Amino acid sequence: MNSSDTIAKWRSRFIPDHVVGEILTKEWIDTAIPVVMFIASIIAFSLLLPHFLSLGGIVELLRQMGELTFVTMGMAIVIMAGGIDLSVGSVFALANFLTLACVNYLAWPPYLALPIVIAICGLCGLVNGVLVGYLRLRAFLTTLATLIIVRALVDYLLFHYGSKVVESSPDSEFWDFLSFGTVFGFPFNYLAAIVAAVVLHVFLTRMRLGWHIRAVGGSRRSAHNAGINVRRTVCLSYIVSALLTGIAGVLYAARLNNAGTEAGVGLEVVALTAAVLGGNSLGGGRGSIPKAALGAFIVALFTNSLLRFTLPSGANPLAIGLILLLAVATDVRWLKNRHKLLSRVYVSPAYFEPPPLLSTAPDSGTPYAVNNKLQDAEPIGLDQVDGAEDIAFDADDNLYTGSRHGDILRFEAPDYASVEVFAHIGGQPLGLHFDGDGSLFACVSGMGLYKITRDREIIRLSDETNRTLLSIVDDSRMRFADDMDFAPDGRVFFSEATIRYDIFDWATDSLEARGNGRIICWDPRTNASRTVLPKRMFPNGICMIGDNESLLFAETWAARINRYWFDGPHKGKVECVIPDMPGYPDNIRRSSDGNFWVAMLGMRTPALDLAMKMPGFRRRMAQRVAFEEWIYPNINTGGVVKFDANGNVLESLWDASGDKYPMITSMREHKGYLYLAGVYNNRIGRYRIPGADPSFNDRHLYWDKRK
Amino acid sequence: MTVDSLIQMLQVTKEYRGVPVLKRVDFTLMKGEVHALLGENGAGKSTLTKIMAGVTERTSGKMLMGGREVSFSSPAAALANGVAMVFQETSLVPSMSVAQNLYLGDEKLFNRLRGLYIAAQQFLQSLNFNVDPWATVSSLGAAKRQMVEIARAVRHEAKVIIFDEPTASLTPEEKHHFFGLIQRLKRRNVSIIFISHALEEALAVADRITILRDGELVATDRTSKFNRESIIQAMVGRQLSGELYSRKERKIRKAGAKILSVQNLSMGAMVRNNSFSVYRGQITGVFGLIGSGRTETAKIIAGIYKRNYFYGGEVWFEGSPVRYRVPRLAVRDGIVYVTEDRKVEGFFETQTIAENIFMGVLGANIDKSVIVGVSQMKALADQWIRGLSIRATDGNARVIELSGGNQQKVVIASSLVQRPRLIIFDEPTRGVDVGAIAEIHQVINELADDGLAVMVISSYLPEILNLSDRILVSRLGRIVEEFSPKQATEAKIMYAAVH
Amino acid sequence: MGPRTGSTQVTQEQIVLALSVLLFVAFSVTLKGFFAPGNLLALVQNVSILGILGLGMAIAIIGRGIDLAIVTTMTMMTAWVLSLAGHGTPPLTAAAAGFCLSAVIGIVLGVLIAYVEIPAIFATLAMASVIYGFSRMVLVGEDLVYVPPSASWTRVAGNAVTLGVPNNVVFFLSFAALVAAFFRFTKPGRFLLSMGDNPFRARIVGIPVRPMIVLQYVASSLTGFAAGLIMAMLIGSMNTRQVNSTMVYDVILVVVLGGVGLSGGRGGVRNVLVGTLLIGILLNGMTIMDVPYILQNLIKGLILLVAIIVDSFVNPRDEQTSQQGDI
């Protein structure tokens, strides 16, 4: 191995390129720029400002942030519903005045006054909501009008009662708690904002009304057509916004006890700034509560921190304006180019050193030497099968196979001439096995593990496994269940070939040469599934070895067959049985003489083997060349190999011409014949095995022993 | 009334601001039947079904469901009564995920996300629709959106499902799955209304066929009573298919000088290593399914999209390499693109015909003066209204008020005034009434006869076969095959476009 | 908006016009001194600044944007010009400098919106902050800047009367005529209208969309600057605290009230004039009635609300036809 190989090897081992592609597919990456802003600003201010990170400073800062966070969240909800609420500043001022009036002037107890004040604010929201939602007025203008009207009202009230409402202040612990209280040293009002943020986030992402709000913002007409009451939803969004603004106004009143006319002036602009800065798009469709809270934090941090520098007048607005422009500009560019980035990096090849390539030449003397024995296999279901990946036989010798259209087909014994659709599952059924009760178990790509009873009832056994800790993409779903076998106690071990691609892109997975697949165990006692062996290279065929504690599985792209102990003293151990197959192994099945058959779906080629050691080359290929012209595994020639449990290859069967059985994905020995399936072949083959046990049925190995 | 009729429409009329679009139509849908609804654009098919689905309300007439008179005020109400509709114009929320869209409208009060996504995946896969439920709808192509729409309607377990052009953007493979689904639905005794342009599909799938023309019922009967010719005759009202897409012997134009050469053009996932050439004095037809990269390629040539900055390939126009940042530069060089999406990028809807056509002149910067001549604008408009026989009172009519065909002619006119040397027509007759199709084809033919380089992109095979002097087939972002019209057949082209 | 803008429909412009006429008649009958030539001139004079700002805003809105920085530009640039002149720069040179800087502001705005693709509402909001901050820090020292003695002739010019019409009204009307001609008879004007109507089509048809957006904001900034100069000529000073007032909302009110669509492409100078007229009549009438300033705002808000509610009944929107993102 030369040095560039070593570098490539270590690079692909320690730099997880594929993670970049996965992160970019996540929705939360949308918030990347605000988060970076957030961290950068905290670092910058803590370096520039002495005592910035001191406890008192932070508490005071957070106290002020609480109110803005409430208002911004309200604004964000309206924006998410496709509107805009300019009236928040005035409603905030109204809440401030009313709180002071109720608590100070009328001397109502705060716990009574506050709900009333917030409810009155909600009423303002209702007015907006009725006008914009039900009467279908334009949000910008309508809320502009309510902004002016409510502001005029507040000014009027302040003009007449302004001095009276601040004359006294109540003697109430609750009131003091609102204004100066801390919970574990955390200012109460920011804590309240955080709690509200969590609740609202759950509400928007998981609750019915939250969905409706986001749907209406995303597309009004679609929401209407989906049966959502658009008008009510829009109306409610304004009410929520006004309620949140009301809470903010109450907190402001409690904190400052100030009946000045400046309360809430320009707040709509600040809240809008915060919401947009956090990444909520005006016009709806894109947004979230965390974004709003983040935006509010950044804006409040800047406005407050800049005040603490001794700057010439005008420097503050200048700095804020410039920073906001910079942040939004970055955000806009990031959003625009994220997808371009994604399309470049999702396919992420790794370094893989293939085993030595054994010759298959007819005169090579290896057990893999090509012959033409499969030419004689007689066809079953010629041009009737489409996507037969595996075959299984029931007790009456009827033949079952899957199809590309999600059906399980049944060919009637003994001549297999007539065919019917046994059941429709969906996806693409791959590995098939009968259990002792005559139910058919099927690995269905795209869906998971299914069982079809004798009465053709379809039962879903597994569609979800445990999520890997720290995985970026939720890997709990089943994307590509491939083959399975039963453990003696009824557990089912099945392989999922890759978690990064669908079955349509299965060949693309070969380019990555990374352990993207896994083996999962479904336990009938708990009816739950758990990943037992992650990170294998396209684990494909699975076959119990017969010792009740280990199984064989094929790693297709690594061209090897492994043995895995799921029970017993060696539990968890994996050992390579055949390290160097000349082709890509697929399903493994038992043979009548106590050995194993393995199908080869295609042959390795020197070019692809070389490319496996050159991840950079494959990445460039994936980026620059149309995908039909990539180097793929050769899947035009396949064969069947017999081997024993120690990995000794005993014989091989080929269709050298490649015109009948070019690709072999599975085979099953049944009553003296070897049946051959290939997912792209147009027939199932039936090959008489010379000297084989004519009563052999591999189901007996599993089920009849126990009876 | 027959026992097993599910929906009956009696003398239903619908008017939009006094203009009737549906005139006293009777329609009956039986239980468990597949009923094809056929007609030209504007015949009232969509309106009729939208009334059934509660999207619009009828002006007069009755709608009976199970013998009881009903009236749906919203799609939600229709759904509650078991009528679901798959809309032609997609009605998904683009900013939400596939799974959320699937469950939108009857989601639970609280939704556990992972369970939801996995259930969505199981459901989509059970229909053999290969759509990732995690994906955001805006990132999906037309075909996948269509599949999500279909899946959503099926999920509601409605008694009646209305499909409005469901197969328009599906590949043959996906169509196969779709028709399998229809058969399974039928077995479950679901009634299906199926609006389609593809008559062969209707004949193959439907039990009964109803044909509308100009808002009136023309024929309704069992499918076995119809054939392709009789359907077209009923749709158009006269024997027209012979004139329009006849395969009569026609002269094939010889290629002139090479005007455009594209090499290894690439743009993201949509266009990959695309190479081809276009010649003067002939029509180069490009056939491809939606999503095959043909529109994107055309838009890159016209400067509307930008190819990849690195390894994006080359475009040579009139012997020199070009890379347009904006369409303006392409227009000045004489490359004009006539859009497939008239409503979005075809015209200015607040402006008149004259203003729209004249904007082409202004955009091409033919007249360098800053001052706009209003009289010159009028004269130009009159000239083109006559030249393309645009049916409007005068140039002061708003484009938005015209029919599809006349709108398309205005779009073509505003492109032709830009003095193009290469003109690219993208789906020139989509949403155009049959009468206007022939006229637009004639215009295109005359342009080629005059020596212009013409490119016609279409996913309608007869149009490609009828117009082209060379046929290119696009698939997966590149031109994969070239045919001469003499050797080309529908089957050959389709095979190249799919495999 | 689609087919509803057809000729048989009553437009918002007509509603507002009708409302203005109604108010005008009502005030003429009920209010003493309303229907007097002097008062009517005062009426127009009071809203002429607002009207000019409205024209600038209309240019931005019609081109599918918005200029929330227009009041800040007006105030700060004018204050700078006055302050320059106060420190001995010849008034005309100072004005030229202000003109140039306003144009630069417009270019920066345009570049941010057209090339960086920041949403207009946000770019102009942030730029307003930048302009104010920069001016206060570098250009203008004090809150209130007076017209210096060296330029006292401008005060005369600003308050003079030409042919019986106050000069600032003349400015307003001629400016309106200029903008109207710009939209109707010049290429850039047509381009702006078209871009506002359909930016996708505008790009394809060959309109230089990005340079035109820059032009659009240069025009709106310069209009703001001109309004500021006229204002200074009229009242003799410029208060930089005006930046924090709600004046920009009044400007939007005037523009949108008359029927300029916020989604671009719809409306023109006539709509701005109608909107200005209504606000002028209203303010004037209320001043005569001696309505307190606070209540004036209330009434203004209610009138705006009534106008848009009436419009919503005349031109109903429904789920099938409404435009996405149309706020």
Domain B5-239 has CATH 3.40.50.2300: no
Tokens 């743009």 identify what position?
Answer: B267
pLDDT of chain C, 327 residues: tens digit per residue: 333 334 456 777 888 888 889 989 998 888 888 888 778 877 887 888 999 999 999 999 998 888 989 999 999 999 999 999 988 889 899 999 999 999 999 999 999 999 998 888 888 988 998 999 899 888 887 888 888 887 778 777 777 777 777 788 888 999 999 999 999 889 999 999 999 888 899 999 999 999 999 999 999 999 999 999 998 888 888 888 888 777 888 888 888 888 887 777 788 899 999 999 988 888 888 888 888 877 888 888 887 788 778 777 766 665 555 554 455
Identify the pLDDT of residue A342: 65
**Residue with more model confidence, B35 or A699:** B35
Pick from A348, A321, A266: which is nearest to A89 by CA? A266
pLDDT at A575 over 70: yes
Nearest Cα residue in chain B from A464: B118
Is the CB of C316 inside 8 Å of chain B's CB atoms? no
Nearest Cα residue in chain C from B415: C205
Least trusted range by pLDDT, from B110-114, B157-161, B468-472: B110-114
Q: What mean pLDDT do residues A446-452 have? A: 93
Strand order across the A492-496 sheet:
A481-486, A492-496, A517-523, A528-536
Q: Own/partner pairs for B28-32, CB < 8 Å, 24+ apart?
A: B28/B2, B28/B220, B29/B5, B29/B160, B29/B191, B29/B193, B30/B2, B30/B4, B30/B5, B30/B6, B30/B191, B30/B207, B30/B208, B31/B4, B31/B5, B31/B6, B31/B189, B31/B191, B32/B4, B32/B186, B32/B189, B32/B190, B32/B191
Cβ neighbours, 10 Å, residue C6: 11
Is the CB of B269 inside 8 Å of chain A's CB atoms? yes
Identify the pLDDT of residue A630: 86
Is the CB of C190 inside 8 Å of chain B's CB atoms? yes
Judge whether C47 and C105 are in contact, CB under 8 Å: no
Q: How far does the CA of residue C63 sit from the closest CA of chain A (Å)?
A: 18
Least trusted range by pLDDT, from B223-227, B296-300, C262-266: C262-266
Is the CB of C174 inside 8 Å of chain A's CB atoms? no
Identify the pLDDT of residue C286: 86
Q: Model confidence at A344, in pLDDT bands (50, 70, 90)?
A: low
Supply the DSSP string of C163-194, one letter for each residue. Answer: TTEEHHHHHHHHHHHHHHHHHHHBHHHHHHHH
**A228 contacts in chain B (CB < 8 Å):** 76, 104-105
**Residue with more model confidence, B177 or A243:** A243
Tokens 């000794």 identify what position?
Answer: A648
Strand locations in A516-672, DSSP E? Answer: 517-523, 528-536, 539-544, 550-555, 560-565, 574-578, 583-590, 596-603, 639-643, 649-654, 666-670
Q: Fold match between B5-239 and B273-498?
A: yes
Q: Model confidence at B244, in pLDDT bands (50, 70, 90)?
A: low
Q: Do B363 and C197 touch (CB under 8 A)?
A: no
Residue C224, classified by CB atoms within 10 Å of its CB into exposed (0-12), middle (13-18) or buried (19+), is buried
Rounded to 5°, angle at Cα B209 from B204 and B212: 130
Mutate to test the interface with B, among C204, C207, C214 (most CBs of B within 10 A): C204
Q: Do C309 and A131 touch (CB under 8 A)?
A: yes
Identify the pLDDT of residue B429: 87
Cβ neighbours, 10 Å, residue A667: 29
Strand locations in A115-271, DSSP E? Answer: 182-183, 186-187
Identify the pLDDT of residue B456: 95
Q: What is the CATH number of domain B273-498?
A: 3.40.50.300
Q: How far does the CA of residue B401 sit from the closest CA of chain C (Å)?
A: 7
Q: Give the model confidence (pLDDT) of B30-56 as tens digits.
A: 988 999 998 877 778 888 998 998 888
Q: Give the model confidence (pLDDT) of B384-420 as tens digits.
A: 999 888 887 777 888 887 878 888 999 999 999 999 9
**B404 contacts in chain C (CB < 8 Å):** none
Q: Model confidence at B476, in pLDDT bands (50, 70, 90)?
A: confident
Q: Give the model confidence (pLDDT) of A308-336 as tens digits.
A: 777 777 787 888 788 778 878 887 888 78
The domain ranges of chain C are: 9-314
Identify the pLDDT of residue C318: 55
Pick from A62, A63, A64, A78: which is nearest to A243 by CA? A78
Report all structural domains of chain A as residue ranges with CATH numbers, in order of start. 8-45+66-343 (1.10.3470), 373-463+476-702 (2.120.10.30)
Q: How far does the CA of residue A321 sit from the closest CA of chain C (Å)?
A: 5
**β-strand partners of B219:** B211
H or E element that contains A604: none
Identify the pLDDT of residue A71: 95
Alpha-carbon span B270 to B215, nearest angstrom: 39
Of B90, B128, B476, Cβ closest to residue A628? B476
| A contact residues 210-249, partner B, Cβ 8 Å cutoff | 211, 214-215, 217-219, 221-229
Q: Do B347 and C198 touch (CB under 8 A)?
A: yes
Q: How far does the CA of residue C315 sit from the closest CA of chain A (Å)?
A: 10
Whole-number average pLDDT of chain A: 88
pLDDT at A288 over 80: yes
Q: Note if the bond before A170 is cis, omega within 30 degrees.
A: no
CB pairs under 8 A between A and B: 136
Q: Do A329 and C118 touch (CB under 8 A)?
A: yes
Judge whether B193 and B37 are in contact, CB under 8 Å: yes
Buried b (16+ CB within 10 A) or exposed e, C75-109: bbbbbbbbbbbbeebebeebbebbbebbbebbebb
For domain C9-314, give the fold.
Answer: ABC transporter involved in vitamin B12 uptake, BtuC (1.10.3470)
pLDDT-above-70 percentage for chain A: 98
pLDDT at A114 over 60: yes
Is the CB of C116 inside 8 Å of chain A's CB atoms? yes
Q: Do A406 and B125 touch (CB under 8 A)?
A: yes
Instruction: Calculate helix-pair angle for C70-86, C91-114, nearest 10 degrees.
Output: 150
The pair of structure tokens assigned to C294 is 């606070």
Is the CB of C325 inside 8 Å of chain B's CB atoms? no
Alpha-carbon span A82 to B320, nearest angstrom: 47
Chains that touch B (3 or more CB pairs under 8 A): A, C
Identify the pLDDT of residue A380: 92
Identify the pLDDT of residue A706: 45
Is the CB of A468 inside 8 Å of chain B's CB atoms? no
Q: Do A137 and C312 touch (CB under 8 A)?
A: yes
Q: Model confidence at B436, in pLDDT bands (50, 70, 90)?
A: confident
Q: Do B111 and A211 touch (CB under 8 A)?
A: yes
Is the CB of A477 inside 8 Å of chain B's CB atoms? yes
Is the CB of A206 inside 8 Å of chain B's CB atoms? yes
Q: Model confidence at B242, in pLDDT bands (50, 70, 90)?
A: low
Q: How far does the CA of residue C299 sit from the closest CA of chain B (Å)?
A: 33
Identify the pLDDT of residue A37: 84
Phi, psi of C186, rounded to the nearest 5 degrees = -110, 155
Judge whether A517 and A495 are in contact, CB under 8 Å: yes
HSE toward the beta carbon, residue A666, CA cutoff 13 A: 28
Judge whether C95 and C150 are in contact, CB under 8 Å: no
Alpha-carbon span B94 to A219, nearest angstrom: 7
Judge whether A285 and A218 are in contact, CB under 8 Å: yes
Identify the pLDDT of residue C148: 85
Identify the pLDDT of residue C115: 92
The domain ranges of chain B are: 5-239, 273-498
